[in-house]
Amino acid sequence: MASFPPRVNEKEIGKLLLNLVDHTEVVRDLTFAPDGSLILVSASRDKTLRVWDLKDDGNMMKVLRGHQNWVYSCAFSPDSSMLCSVGASKTVFLWNMDKYTMIRKLEGHHHDVVACDFSPDGALLATASYDTRVYIWDPYNGDILMEFGHLFPPPTPIFAGGANDRWVRSVSFSHDGLHIASLADDKMVRFWRIDEDYPVQVAPLSNGLCCAFSTDGSVLAAGTHDGSVYFWATPRQVPSLQHLCRLSIRRVMPTQEVQELPIPSKVLEFLSYRI
């Protein structure tokens, strides 16, 4: 196995640097730790997540076990301390990436959970499910803070757990921390605000499968089953000073520490994304 160089010169562009071989089934997703450590996590149909250190010749550091079925997607928290993984079950898994142990399981969805993404401050976790819903969780205590439904009226758990024609395929947080995009089988892409329970904008999209915001949040890209990629200009809004302060605080303070602050209850609710 070739060593992984700290810098890639022109002669090495396009050259295979590493081949990581250990999964026994299809690899469905990959995510790098945002801290620049070159730690990579892979999610597979073999029911595992594997942690690789690309600075150490691609050494496999850990196997994360807990899923009872295929793992579809995984995402790091912005500070790289936490990993979320979802798959062919109703359960959302949260992992401590310092100790490589499971923190908790989040229960609430009624069908397979297929996508996940953290907010830019790490205080919120969005998950998308075939049950027609996107949930916004507090990853520090497991509370569901918001629900974005893609079918009205909301389906019963039995209907949500079956073929309901509103499977949500993807979810992505904008880097402003205010907006979320979701793709569903009803041929629509939706843009949501975290403080509104209805879409602020919708657009047609057939066969949507995955989506991601540009770094500045001005563009949403969406990929489809038929091999196309579409782009949209996204809803823009100047964040309030209160929201910017909340982002700064929540980047460094988990929910438990926020709740211990000697400040008025309304401010605590705002910092905890409960209003």
Q: How confident is the model at residue 17 (pLDDT cuts 50, 70, 90)?
A: confident
Q: How confident is the model at residue 13 (pLDDT cuts 50, 70, 90)?
A: confident
Mean pLDDT across the chain: 92
pLDDT computed for residue 1 by the predictor = 40
Structure tokens at 83: 């990993």
Which is more confidently placed, 135 or 4?
135
Q: pLDDT tens digit string along 89-116?
A: 999 999 999 999 999 999 999 999 999 9
Q: Is 127 exposed, middle or buried (0-12, 13-18, 19+ CB in 10 A)?
A: buried
- Evaluate if residue 62 carries a pLDDT over 60: yes
- Cα angle value 259/262/265 (rounded, 5°): 65
Rounded-to-integer distance, Cα 50 and Cα 63, Å: 5
- Evaluate if residue 153 carries a pLDDT over 90: no
Q: How confident is the model at residue 182 (pLDDT cuts 50, 70, 90)?
A: very high
Q: How confident is the model at residue 9 (pLDDT cuts 50, 70, 90)?
A: low
| H-helix or E-strand spanning residue 126 | strand 125-129
**High-pLDDT (> 70) share of the chain, %:** 96
**Mean pLDDT of all residues in 260-275:** 95
pLDDT computed for residue 6 by the predictor = 55
pLDDT computed for residue 75 by the predictor = 98
Sheet holding 219-224, edge to edge: 208-213, 219-224, 229-233
Q: pLDDT tens digit string along 193-216?
A: 999 989 999 999 999 999 999 999
Nearest to 128 by CA among 139, 120, 137: 137
- Evaluate if residue 7 carries a pLDDT over 80: no
Q: Is 243 helix (H, G, I), strand (E, B) or coil?
A: helix
